[in-house]
């Protein structure tokens, strides 16, 4: 047996896919029979196929047209189907891989977003209650701020204590 190749043409794919487009029929060329360089006898009138065999006494070789082995169409279809099924398997693998990658990228983005916008722990500002009380008093007594002097004195003393504590801790 000789080597054979499979040609998958657009027309074949369209025909298999059930496309409504009309597919041009191709004519198959039959190979010409090999002709020997021996002289031929003069042409004889056409006879039936049984009479193509020469009498045993003539000695002239008879050449009948040789047809290539016909490959059944189902073999081509099977080959195409196997290629399509392999392609579908590859496509499935790629889709699963894409889903995993999307999930991984999403998780990493959430993680980075959380790290970027997460505020570090901040110490509460010392003397904040005294400061808020003093400020509220000033808002309440805009025209007579001397009424807020005890709160202001308390806030000032708190600030002095914090400064002393910070100064003694540095040494």
CA distance 30 to 26: 13
Calculate what percentage of the chain has a pLDDT beyond 70.
63
**In the chain, where are the structural domains located?**
1-21+69-118, 128-164
The average pLDDT across 66-89 equals 82
Q: What is the pLDDT of residue 14?
A: 79
Q: What is the mean pLDDT of residues 114-143?
A: 86
Average pLDDT over residues 110-136: 84
- Minimum mean pLDDT range among 1-10, 13-22, 138-147: 13-22
User: For residue 44, what pLDDT is reported?
Assistant: 58
Query: What whole-number distance in Å separates Cα of residue 145 and Cα of residue 149?
Result: 7
- Listing DSSP states for 88-127 in one string gives HHHHHHHHHHHHHHHHHHHHHHHHHHHHHHPPPP-PPPTT
Is it the case that residue 135 has pLDDT exceeding 70?
yes
User: Residue 23's pLDDT is what?
Assistant: 44
Widest CA span of the chain, in angstroms?
149
DSSP code string of 1-54:
---------HHHHHHHHT-SSPPPPPPPPPPPPP--SSPPPPP-----GGGGSP
pLDDT one-digit tens code per residue, 23-76 = 445 555 666 666 555 555 555 555 444 445 555 555 666 666 666 666 667 888
* Burial (Cβ within 10 Å: 0-12, 13-18, ≥19) of residue 47: exposed
**Nearest 5°: CA angle at 160, between 156 and 166?**
145
pLDDT score at 159:
93
Helix axes 10-17, 73-117, angle to 10 degrees: 80
């Amino acid at each position: 047996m000789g080597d054979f190749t499979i040609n998958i043409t657009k027309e074949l794919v369209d025909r298999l896919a059930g496309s409504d487009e009309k597919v041009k029929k191709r004519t198959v060329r039959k190979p010409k029979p090999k002709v020997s360089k021996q002289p031929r006898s003069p042409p004889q009138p056409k006879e039936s196929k049984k009479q193509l065999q020469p009498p045993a006494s003539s000695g002239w070789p008879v050449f009948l047209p040789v047809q290539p082995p016909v490959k059944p169409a189902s073999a081509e279809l099977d080959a195409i189907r196997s290629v399509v099924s392999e392609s579908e398997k590859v496509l499935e693998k790629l889709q699963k891989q894409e889903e995993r990658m999307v999930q991984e990228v999403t998780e990493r983005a959430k993680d980075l977003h959380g790290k970027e916008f997460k505020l570090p722990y901040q110490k509460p500002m010392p003397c904040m209650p005294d400061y808020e009380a003093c400020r509220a008093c000033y808002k309440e007594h805009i025209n007579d701020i001397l009424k807020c002097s005890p709160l202001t004195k308390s806030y000032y003393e708190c600030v002095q204590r914090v400064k002393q504590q910070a100064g003694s801790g540095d040494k």
